[in-house]
Amino acid sequence: MSTSIILFFIINILFCYFKSLQKGSKLHADSKKSGNKRIASLDIFRGIAIINILFIHTVWWHGKKYMPIDSVREFSLLIDVPLFFFLAGWASTYVPSSIKFYCRRFVALYIPYFFLGLLIFSYLYVFRFSKISFVAFISNWSVFNYTKFFGYDPFIGALWFLKVYISIFLISPVLKYISKFPYASTMFLFFLLFLIAMFSYGNPAWKSFRLFEIWSLRQLVFFSFFYYIGMLSKNAGLTFDELFLAFIILTAGFLINLQYFDFEFSMHKNKFPPSFFYLIISSYSVVLALFLKNYENKFKKLLETNSIIRFLKMCGERSYYIFLYQGFTNSIVIPWIIKQYEFWPPFALTGLCFLINFLGTLIIVQIVTPINLFYIQKTQLLFFLGQREPAVKRKA
């Protein structure tokens, strides 16, 4: 049964891929015609963030075998997941608040994730001779319960983000409603900060509280804070003086918390689970983004002349797919590279592994993106979701 399913799956992949190529990327063209103009600075920031996420996964999952300097891994976490949630909250202010939009968006998030599960099952069955039941695998994968099936950390270790993001995305209409009222909005932010502090310094029973076994309440609260800050930042920006003051305040908070932890600097320990200390550390990249978003017009001009900026924007536009499929190269190819070049200097081997991981991921994304877009469009039509709605216009 599993063999026939995999063959059917492969035939469907080839059919959808070549059909999408024949259409000349019609889905991307439709996106442009619909009037949904993307924000250059937002995509560029996403591009920088996703490239650093790839670097983080490169130096953390296998990097301990060839990179003896822990500070390289620790400081890589300065631009991390909280910035993504901030950018997601910011982006949510430019989209409609209708039920139809959220249904379309959920399909666009879920189909690539489900497709990834089919690819992983096929790989395990064909190349690892796994005896995993297809029904058991898919039924658990469908509800984000996958850790007991296999141990490829770059796949599984990164997917906690998706569970949290989809959960926050589904409650974002409520967050949008709260954001309309300044007093309620301020109280809500302080409530989230209070909960984060309680999780970080309070009763140990709070620190591990979970929802339905697979959702961490602590993660939901922590990343909801950054998402909501992004939602409030649509028309906000920091001047250079405000940026400098914010850095001073964050550094003071950093030093105070460092004393609380007996001056043991470990960003990774404070990330899993996320603590108040990690909130302070992550805020450096967020306030920097708030400063740089003032230069939207300059970013637009650079897009016309600077190929690096265009590349960063492209990575930002495909950041979700890069995030999903980065695990293949990191799980399968990188361990072999480490064995072949284990005598290389640590920084040279780190650079080689990151380059291969990055290029391998981009190649996979280039192949799977049109297939995913094809199925996303068909699924949306199947549920009568039709064409996407126009974006919310930006204020001058």
Annotated domain spans of the chain: 48-382
Closest CA to 383 of 110, 176, 9: 110
What are 336's two structure tokens? 């072999």
Residue 176: what pLDDT? 93
The 10 Å Cβ neighbour count of residue 5 is 16
| Under-50 pLDDT residues of the chain | 2-3, 5-7, 9-10, 13-14, 17-18, 20-35, 396
Q: Which residue has the tokens 């999780």?
A: 199
User: pLDDT at position 45, please?
Assistant: 96
The full DSSP string for 187-222 is HHHHHHHHHHHHHHHS-HHHHT-EETTTEEHHHHHH
Omega cis (within 30) before 173: no
Q: What are residue 216's DSSP bridge partners? A: 210
pLDDT at 72: 85
CA–CA separation, 4 vs 229, rounded Å? 48
pLDDT at 241: 94
The span from the CA of 221 to the CA of 99, in Å, is 23
Q: What is the pLDDT of residue 338?
A: 86
Distance, first Cα to last Cα, the chain: 58
Give the separation between CA 105 and CA 102, rounded to whole angstroms.
5
What pLDDT is attached to residue 51? 95
Using one digit for the tens of pLDDT, what is the confidence trace for 301-360?
999 999 999 999 999 999 999 999 988 888 888 888 888 888 889 889 999 999 999 999
Q: How many residues does the chain have?
A: 396
